[in-house]
């Protein structure tokens, strides 16, 4: 028998090769920590939505080994349907090997409505229609009359007042007409899927928009494994659509780009030229000099770490709001003296007030504040100023004093082949200081990037004391390296123009 699930069906509709690779080459599936954290957060939102319509029964059951007990779940679903329960969560069905679980199945007269819960902030993703059409198809073949279909998404305008109001946290959108239309595709798609999945040979599917839409595909590395490195997909600041167009014209390597006469300007030109011939470092002394002239001592190198909880944790915050929880600040004086300040909040309480006070105390009013990619830090400073009017004057002055250390790299004043067209501090630093272990993020313990910091901070809550102390230490070390790295980058800029 052909076995398929809702998620496999959605994968198949994104690209048939995804389903095939998941079955036959699962070891090639690679997602980063941030994407995994997003999936986990989706489960948390699903659990929260169960209470959306008051009393409910949930069929989720586990086997002794921990995996889902699907037989038990289907049996419980049958029982609750027979009992005429109003709200059945994770209601599970199987029609000739086609399995699906409905987030909330809600009684509506002689039938049921489907509520599909998404952690997304918008219902406007076609994959959700594909997903719910599959559910309707399976349920109707199992004898359930499906009347209406709804998407339950997160409303980012909701402000947490201290007790979570899930009726306001969620937004419900009816999608029945769209699902009815999409339903016509299900039967044909399932027949195709059966054919593809039963064949031992990898389906001949080439790269397309589906590799990024609706989700970045976790097999992209596998599917591009035979391309030269770097390839057209590494081009800086180029839309994926344009890269695809070049790829399908046979333009794969940087040599191909030149041969095909693709027009390149600015950084992209430099990226390709420097990749093809090791020209050392490109230094525009005048450009760097102009940038350095805009800086004045004391130089305050600042970096925030933040969390972005879907379910707001602190009064006055919204779903998905960026909450700064940590900062590192290196202060460089004219005489070369370097001081370090830092702050790390506690997840148990809103860290923003203490963090804002720390900034006001630590950053001199006349200090030139240097960040790497200023949009993020400036937005956080603006939000803090709005949240704490008594500190806003100083916080806004800090914001006005911000200079972006990214600029000399983004403008191409300083370029080396190793930057590979990426100007994040994680790319610039190893390119400028390839052999300095002190400036190597890989040598840090526990936390090596912002995503890991974001994932670790909320977990401090509930950690045993010793483990928590170690985790806090790792967070502080990570953030400190971000600002120390900026000091070193600044010194390097000074060195090359001296």
Residue 164 or 218: the one with the smaller Cβ distance to ligand SF4 is 218
Scanning the structure block, which residue is given the tokens 């230094």?
283
Stretch that binds ligand SF4, among 98-106, 118-126, 212-220, 474-482 (CB under 6 A): 212-220
Residue span binding ligand SF4 (CB under 6 A) among the ranges 179-187, 218-226, 455-463, 471-479: 218-226
Sole window of 37-45, 47-55, 82-90, 213-221 interacting with ligand SF4 (rule: CB under 6 A): 213-221
From the list 205-213, 323-331, 418-426, 464-472, the region that binds ligand SF4 by CB under 6 A is 205-213
CA distance 442 to 429: 12
Min CB(196)–ligand SF4 separation in Å: 12
How is residue 13 written in tokens? 């509709």
Q: Does 219 bind ligand SF4 (CB under 6 A)?
A: yes
**Pairing between β-strand 299-307 and β-strand 323-332 as defined by DSSP bridges:** antiparallel
223 binds ligand SF4 (CB under 6 A): yes
Smallest distance from ligand SF4 to CB 16, Å: 8
In the complex with ligand SF4, the residue whose CB is nearer, 170 or 233, is 233
| Residue 228: CB minimum distance to ligand SF4, A | 17
Toward ligand SF4, which CB reaches closer, 9 or 150?
9
- Quote the least distance from Cβ 13 to ligand SF4, whole Å: 11
Size of the site for ligand SF4 (CB under 6 A): 12
Q: What is the end-to-end Cα distance of the chain in Å, rounded?
A: 73
Per CB under 6 A, contacts with ligand SF4 among 426-465 are none
Stretch that binds ligand SF4, among 214-222, 256-264, 411-419, 435-443 (CB under 6 A): 214-222
Quick one: which of 50, 91, 217, 431 contacts ligand SF4 (CB under 6 A)? 217
> Quick one: 177 or 221, whose CB is closer to ligand SF4?
221
* Rounded least distance, CB 39 to ligand SF4, Å: 17
CB of 214 to ligand SF4, least distance (A): 11
Closest approach of Cβ 286 to ligand SF4, in Å? 43
Which of 469, 485, 339 shows the shortest CA–CA distance to 405?
A: 485
Rounded least distance, CB 18 to ligand SF4, Å: 5
Q: Is residue 232 near ligand SF4 by the rule CB under 6 A?
A: no
| Among the listed residues 215, 220, 240, 314, the single contact to ligand SF4 using CB under 6 A | 220
Q: Which is nearer to ligand SF4, 15 or 232 (CB)?
A: 15
Say whether residue 262 binds ligand SF4 (CB under 6 A).
no
3-state secondary structure the chain: CCCEEHHHHHHHHHCHHHHHHHHHCHHHCCCCHHHHHHHHHHHHHHHHHHHHHCCCEECCCECCCCCECHHHHHHHHHHHHHCCCCEEEEEEEEECCEEEEEEEEEEECCEEEEEEECCCCCCCCHHHHHHHHHHHHHHHHCCCCEEEEEEEEECCCCCCCCCCCHHHHEEEEECHHHHHHHHHHHHHHHHHHHHHHHCCCCCCCCCCHHHCCCCCCCCHHHHCCCCCCCEHHHCCCCCHHHHHHHHHCCCCEHHHHHHCCCCCCHHHHHHHHHHHCCCCEEECHHHHHHHHHCCCCCEEEEEEEEECCCCCCCCCCCCCCCEEEEEEEEEECCCCCEEEEEEECCCCCCCHHHHHHHHHHHCCCCCEEEECCHHHHHHHHHHHHHHCHHHHHHHHHHHHCEEECCHHHHCCCEEEHHHCCCCCHHHHHHHHCCCCHHHCHHHCCCCCCHHHHHHHHHHCCCCCHHHHHHHHHHHHHHHHHHHHHHHHHHHHHHHHHC
In the range 366-385, which residues lie near ligand SF4 by CB under 6 A? Answer: none
CA distance 100 to 7: 9
Q: In angstroms, rounded to a whole number, what is the distance separating the alpha carbons of residues 10 and 19?
A: 9
Is the CB of 5 or the CB of 108 nearer to ligand SF4? 5
Smaller CB separation from ligand SF4, 208 or 449: 208
d(CA 438, CA 441): 8
Site string for ligand SF4, 8-47 (x = CB under 6 A): -------x-xx--x--------------------------
> Rounded to an integer, what distance in angstroms lies between the CA atom of residue 271 and that of residue 229?
13
Least spacing, CB of residue 376 vs ligand SF4, in Å: 29
CB 222 to ligand SF4: min, Å: 7
CB of 17 to ligand SF4, least distance (A): 4
CA–CA separation, 326 vs 478, rounded Å?
11
- The binder of ligand SF4 chosen from 166, 183, 190, 205 (CB under 6 A): 205
CB of 219 to ligand SF4, least distance (A): 4
Our CB check for ligand SF4 shows the closer of 240 and 376 to be 240
Considering the complex, state which of residue 18 and residue 407 has its C-beta at the smaller distance from ligand SF4: 18
**Least distance in Å: CB of 210 to ligand SF4?**
5
Q: Which residues bind ligand SF4 (CB under 6 A)?
A: 15, 17-18, 21, 205, 207, 210-211, 217, 219-220, 223
């Amino acid at each position: 028998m052909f076995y398929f699930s809702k998620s496999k069906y959605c994968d198949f509709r994104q690209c048939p090769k995804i389903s095939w690779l998941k079955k036959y080459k699962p070891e090639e599936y690679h997602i980063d920590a941030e994407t995994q954290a997003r999936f986990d957060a989706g489960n948390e939102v699903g659990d929260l939505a169960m209470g959306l319509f008051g009393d409910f029964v949930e069929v989720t059951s586990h086997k002794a080994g921990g995996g889902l007990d699907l037989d038990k779940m289907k049996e419980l679903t049958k029982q609750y349907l027979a009992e005429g329960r109003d709200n059945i969560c994770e209601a599970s069905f199987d029609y000739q090997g086609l399995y699906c679980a409905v987030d909330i199945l809600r009684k509506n007269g002689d039938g049921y409505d489907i509520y599909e819960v998404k952690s997304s902030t918008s219902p406007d993703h076609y994959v959700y229609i594909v997903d719910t059409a599959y559910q309707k198809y399976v349920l109707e073949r199992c004898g359930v009359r499906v009347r209406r279909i709804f998407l339950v998404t997160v409303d980012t305008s909701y402000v947490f007042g201290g007790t979570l109001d899930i009726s306001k946290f969620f937004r419900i959108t009816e999608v029945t007409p769209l699902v009815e239309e999409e339903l016509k595709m299900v039967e044909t798609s399932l027949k195709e899927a059966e054919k593809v999945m039963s064949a031992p040979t990898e389906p001949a599917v080439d790269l397309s928009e589906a590799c990024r839409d609706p989700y970045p595909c976790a097999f992209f590395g596998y599917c591009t494994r035979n391309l030269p490195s770097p390839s057209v997909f590494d081009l800086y600041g180029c839309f994926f659509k344009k890269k695809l167009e070049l790829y399908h014209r046979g333009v794969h390597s940087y040599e191909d780009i030149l041969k095909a006469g693709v027009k390149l300007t600015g950084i992209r030109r430099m990226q390709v030229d420097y990749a093809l011939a090791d020209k050392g470092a490109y230094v525009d002394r005048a450009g760097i000099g102009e940038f350095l002239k805009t800086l004045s001592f004391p130089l305050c190198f600042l970096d925030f770490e933040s969390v972005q909880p879907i379910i707001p944790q602190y009064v006055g915050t919204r779903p998905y709001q960026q909450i700064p929880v940590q900062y590192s600040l290196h202060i460089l004086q004219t005489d070369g003296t370097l001081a370090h300040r830092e702050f790390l909040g506690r997840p148990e309480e809103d860290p923003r007030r203490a963090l804002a006070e720390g900034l006001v105390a630590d950053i001199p009013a006349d200090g030139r504040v240097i960040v790497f990619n200023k949009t993020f830090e400036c937005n956080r400073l603006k939000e803090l100023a709005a949240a704490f009017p008594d500190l806003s004057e100083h916080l806004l002055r800090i914001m006005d004093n911000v200079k972006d250390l990214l600029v000399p790299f983004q403008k191409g004043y300083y370029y080396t082949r190793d930057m590979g067209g990426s100007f994040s501090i994680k790319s610039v630093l190893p390119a400028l200081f390839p052999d300095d272990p002190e400036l190597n993020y890989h040598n840090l313990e526990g936390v090596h990037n912002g995503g890991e910091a974001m994932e670790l901070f909320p977990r401090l809550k509930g950690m045993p004391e010793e483990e928590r102390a170690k985790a806090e230490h790792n967070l502080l070390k990570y953030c400190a390296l971000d600002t120390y790295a900026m000091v070193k980058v600044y010194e390097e800029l000074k060195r090359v123009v001296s």
